[in-house]
């Protein structure tokens, strides 16, 4: 009987080296995939909060226009930093969900008949997250959402 056929009859499993190699490969793949997955979840949460708060601001602005005919005087700009507005009388009943600590900016344009809302993330150097306007067009920043 040849040594090759004798070995194949005795082999019924994997060697320790083969098992360690498979575990090392799984560890390397996990080390790459898990942080990427957690980063995507964080970005999704940030963008979701930004969209919800931008919609809250947009609805308040639409209510203000329904009451007064315009959003505000043209050129009016109000920012929310850490959920606190720079002008508390602009939209006094607004309460932003700010678990992500985003900054929001509302700029009234077009003679009081238009506005734009910009959302920035101060934790990454004030990177733009999204913008929206009175038409409801939402633009997510592609460089932030990689």
Q: Is the whole-model pTM more than 0.85?
A: no
CA atoms of 35 and 28, how far apart (whole Å): 12
Flag whether 87 is in a domain: yes
Is residue 103 assigned to a domain?
yes
Say which residue the tokens 């009859």 belong to: 9
Rg of the chain on CA atoms, in Å: 27
- Residue 145: predicted pLDDT: 55
**What's residue 124's pLDDT?**
75
Q: pLDDT, tens digit, for every residue of 72-94? A: 888 989 988 877 888 888 888 88
In a domain, 77, yes or no: yes
125 is a domain residue: yes
pLDDT in tens, 35-77: 877 777 777 777 788 888 888 889 999 998 998 898 888 898 9
Bridging pattern class, strands 114-121 and 103-109: antiparallel
Tally of domains in the chain: 1
Q: Do the domain assignments include residue 33?
A: yes
Beta-strand relationship, 77-81 and 114-121: unpaired
- Full residue range of the structural domain in which residue 65 is found: 15-140
Better-predicted residue by pLDDT, 124 or 2: 124
Closest of 146, 131, 143 to residue 50, by C-alpha: 131
Q: Are 80 and 62 in contact (CB under 8 A)?
A: no
SS3 79: strand
Asked if residue 6 is part of any domain, the answer here is no
Burial class, 83, CB count within 10 angstroms (exposed 0-12 / middle 13-18 / buried 19+):
middle
User: How high is the mean pLDDT of the chain?
Assistant: 82
The number of angstroms, rounded, from the C-alpha of 87 to the middle of its chain's C-alpha atoms is: 26
| Backbone dihedral angles phi then psi of residue 129, each to the nearest 5 degrees | -100, -50
């Amino acid at each position: 009987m040849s040594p090759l056929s004798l070995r194949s009859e005795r082999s019924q499993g994997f060697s320790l080296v083969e098992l360690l190699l498979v575990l090392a490969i799984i560890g390397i793949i996990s080390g790459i995939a898990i942080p990427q997955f957690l980063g995507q979840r964080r970005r999704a949460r940030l963008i979701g909060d930004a969209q919800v708060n931008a919609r809250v601001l947009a609805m308040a602005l639409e209510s203000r226009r329904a009451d007064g005919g315009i959003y505000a005087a043209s050129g009016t700009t109000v920012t929310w930093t850490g959920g606190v507005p720079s002008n508390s009388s602009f939209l006094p009943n607004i309460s932003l969900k700010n678990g992500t600590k985003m900054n929001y900016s509302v700029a009234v344009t077009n003679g009081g008949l238009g506005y734009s809302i910009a959302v920035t993330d101060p934790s990454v150097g004030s990177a733009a997250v999204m913008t929206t306007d009175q038409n409801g067009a939402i633009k997510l920043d592609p460089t932030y959402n990689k």
